[in-house]
Amino acid sequence: MRRTRAVAGAVLVLASSAACGDLAPIAPPEVPVATALPVTPSRSLDLEAGEATVEGFTELERAALRIRNIGCGGVRTGSGFAIGDHVLVTNRHVVAGATTLEVSTFDGKDIDVRTSGAATVADLAIVRTKEKLPASITLAPANPDVGQTVTAIGYPLGGPLTTTSGQVLGYRKDPVAKSNLPMLLNSAPVEHGSSGSPLVDITGQLVGVVYASTGPGHNYAVPIEVLEGVLAKPQSFAGKTNCDE
């Protein structure tokens, strides 16, 4: 399995600094608790679920999305994933301050964005698209247990699709203070640009959303139960971000 280089240093969110701009508030989508993400021919997911498609990519890989945020602070790259035909999830700091938000699929197709909204709880954001997304990812019914194998799927450094695996190490205080809820600590290697990547279990179900690292082997994701709680509350989404995000 291909692995990214581990991130070192103090706490870092896995995208460049935010830019100025407004985000329109949106209501969260209705998402089934159990439903189903480009580009490296030699990559391997090593999951129990997901046979290869005719294009050579699993449904899980096809749901992975590359995100580019263009704003007053320059250009940043991040990752995201579809949870519905026209809805994707990423990090709040990935979309914060965007004047232009660009989304592309596993095969390099650009997707028009309709609107985006940043959550006031945890480092999460929802983006709605005009066009139908190629695939979606299933939400696990509960947080994963400590020791469970997890895989991160995303676009580190804005490059090709990369998958990395590790284990759930436990639940800890949010290192970037976006939430007072426990966050999922895991050892799947990530880098800048991995922000917003889905963290899945061996069945291919979503158990977390990657967003930060405190050093090699100590990487954080918003756990699925927090994401589901945010999706269930339209009031959890704010319509404005700023350069201090």
CB neighbours of residue 133 within 10 Å: 22
pLDDT at 171: 98
> What is the rounded CA–CA span in Å between residue 184 and residue 179?
12
Q: Say which DSSP state 6 is in.
A: P
Question: pTM for the whole thing?
Answer: 0.79
**Residue 120, pLDDT above cutoff 60:** yes
**Residue 32, pLDDT above cutoff 50:** no
> Would you list the DSSP string of 197-230?
-EEE-TTS-EEEEEEEEEETTEEEEEEHHHHHHH
**Strands 98-104 vs 110-111: parallel, antiparallel or unpaired:** antiparallel
Nearest Cα to 23, choosing from 92, 90, 116, 114?
116
Mean pLDDT of the chain: 79
Q: Model confidence over 216-240: pLDDT tens digits?
A: 899 999 999 999 999 998 677 765 4
Which domains occur in the chain, in start order? Answer: 18-39+52-136+229-239 (2.40.10.10)
**Residue 45, pLDDT above cutoff 50:** no
Q: Cβ neighbours of residue 54 under 8 Å, at least 6 residues apart?
A: none
- Is residue 196 a contact partner of residue 154, using CB atoms and an 8 Å limit? yes
CA distances in angstroms from 194 to 15, 21, 31, listed in the order given: 7, 22, 23
